[in-house]
Amino acid sequence: MTTDRELMHRVAQKDEQAFAELANRYSARLLTMAWRLLGNRADAEDAVQRALLRLYLSAGSYRSEWAVSTWLYRVATNVCVDEIRRRRSRSSLQKAVHEEAGDGQGLLFPWGGGAAPGPAQNLDLHRALARVPLEARILLALRYVDGLSYQELARVRGISVNTVKSQLARGKMILRSALTDRRRRPRTAVRIGKGAGE
């Protein structure tokens, strides 16, 4: 099988077949990562396309000391993160409108609208993930979609290995406490008085 690096060098020479092969190798993992970060398939596909396009156009500046996967994840997370920034500025506008109208949509669906998290997904986990700060959430996604090592994660986000470790630990701690909270207090139950469910 052709290695990623060989394909990448062919992509730099505008070889579309090599590009298609490389893209096919990573599309499922990139799509999943983007989907979990952005919350819906349409936006995720859009982000993956943009990332792949970037890969094709800037293949010339690829340097072989990078693992292709690391480089590709860097490009893809960059695209997703900017999409999230755009949404935040949009949702701060929307929230203002909703608050005026008196409904709390923005608070219930922090990922923006009632976007479905995907088929047969763990809704509790999805909600808990929304509480994890963005940078930690990205690291979790990369770590669990493709099992990237701490070193690779550090390279993808341009941070130190120690920051990766502390962010992952913090992310999991928030998840654990959010999930524990939720199970003690079922969503459907109305809390009366203090200490319900303890």
Partner 1 sequence: MTTRTFSTHDELENSLIVHFRPVPAATDLVRRTLDGLRDDFRPERFAERVQVEATERGISMLSPGGQARPPASQASKRLAAKAREELFEYLEGRRSFFSVPVDFSGMPAFQRKVLERTYRIPFGETRSYARIAQEIGNPRAVRAVGTALGRNPIPIIVPCHRVLRSDGGLGGYGLGLPMKTRLLGLERSTPVLEGCATTGIVCRVGCPDAMRMREDSRVVFASVDDARSVGYRPCKVCRPSDATLS
Closer residue to partner 1 (CB): 4 or 45: 45
- The per-residue DSSP string of the chain comes to ---HHHHHHHHHTT-HHHHHHHHHHHHHHHHHHHHHHHSSHHHHHHHHHHHHHHHHHTGGG--TTS-HHHHHHHHHHHHHHHHHHHHHHHHHHHHHHHHHHT--HHHH-TTSTT----TT--HHHHHHHHTS-HHHHHHHHHHHHH---HHHHHHHHT--HHHHHHHHHHHHHHHHHHHHHHHHS-TTSPP-SSSTT-
Total site size for partner 1, rule CB under 8 A: 67
Stretch that binds partner 1, among 4-12, 21-29, 95-103, 107-115 (CB under 8 A): 21-29
100 lies in the site for partner 1, by CB under 8 A:
no
Q: Which of 4, 9, 78, 95 binds partner 1 (CB under 8 A)?
A: 78
Q: Which of 104, 113, 114, 133 binds partner 1 (CB under 8 A)?
A: 133
180 lies in the site for partner 1, by CB under 8 A:
yes
Positions that interact with partner 1 (CB under 8 A)? 16, 19-20, 23-24, 27-33, 35-36, 45, 48-50, 52-53, 56, 58, 61, 63, 66, 71, 74, 77-79, 81-82, 84-86, 88-90, 118, 121-122, 125-126, 129, 133-136, 140-141, 144-145, 155, 157-160, 163, 167, 172, 175-176, 179-180, 183-184, 198
